[in-house]
Amino acid sequence: MATITPAVSTNKLIGLGKWLVKVGIPFAIAAVEDVFTDGVGQVATPDDTAWRRVNWRFTRATPAGTVEDVAMFGFDVVNMTGGDYDSSWTSADYAAVDGALNELWTTIRPLISGTHTLSEIQYHQRAFHPDLPLGELVPQMQPGTNKEVNRFQRSGPPLHVIVKNEAGTNAGQPAPYQVALSVTFRTAARRHWGRCYIPGATVTEVGGGFGRFSTGTTQVVANAFAELASDLGANDFYLMVPSTQNDGKYATSLQSISQIQVDDVPDVIRRRRPKQASLRSIGVATP
């Protein structure tokens, strides 16, 4: 467990707030720290500041003779114990977060097409790379290569898995794979907001007119994620956004989420585009 100095205050009731934990050498985040009204803490090194990346994996039904990879979305969760940063997760910790995730799935499942099956939810350990050159201009390259230095340590295999194998329950006509509903994790610093993209949209949900998600859909999802934040906060877990740069320089920090926002504008996630065509029609001129 790493002591945060000075401590930051967290709102356990709603699980949302405006706090910042700087990780690594002491540095100032110009024109940013003042907006974190719940406190700005400092952890000396990234060695003991691991968190969990929660990845949701969906298999997708495809036409006969085709195969597709999984559709994924994820977000980051930090564990706090007694106001300090806790990188260790016990079985009880995982169970508490599992309960909050299961409630979220129960709420959003009716919005997701039956063509998308939630196969499992994986927890991966995430941490900033200890050799990231903090304070140096972005980008810095790995010696002798044209590859940028690694901002995060390799995650490795999942540390905890919830096995699901549960399809969405929306019977509406599925929208193209690429159509997604975006959930924005607003931090106190606008440039450091995070997002995740929910797959499995249906034509039914894009029913708000002008090709947009309906008000009912966006509000249900926004409320569901706000409830997730509240359920997590009740057990000292918090949604947050990891940040690796500021003002064009490497600067590692963990920023709490202050607000959940869901827009009615569908996003297009190109990597979810079908990899294989099941039909190719060749044009033939007709008299």
* Residue 202 to residues 29, 80, 216, Cα–Cα distance (Å): 42, 38, 14
Number of domains in the chain: 1
Q: Can you say whether the dihedral through the CA atoms of 17, 188, 263, 79 is positive or negative? A: negative
How many whole angstroms separate alpha carbon 151 and alpha carbon 105?
A: 31
Q: What's the predicted TM-score (pTM) here?
A: 0.94
Tell me what the mean pLDDT of segment 74-87 comes to. 91
**Domain residues for 236?**
20-272
Looking at the domain assignment, is residue 8 inside a domain? no
Of the chain, the percentage scoring pLDDT greater than 70 comes to: 98
Q: Is the peptide bond before 139 cis (omega within 30 degrees of 0)?
A: yes
Looking at the domain assignment, is residue 1 inside a domain? no
pLDDT (tens digit, 9 = 90+) per residue, 243-285? 999 889 999 999 999 999 999 999 999 999 999 899 999 999 9
Length of the chain: 287
How many whole angstroms separate alpha carbon 90 and alpha carbon 93?
A: 5
Looking at the domain assignment, is residue 76 inside a domain? yes
Looking at the domain assignment, is residue 170 inside a domain? yes
Looking at the domain assignment, is residue 5 inside a domain? no
Looking at the domain assignment, is residue 78 inside a domain? yes
Task: List, in order, residues 6 or more apart from 198 with CB less than 8 Å away.
Answer: 73, 108, 111, 112, 180, 181, 182, 183, 221
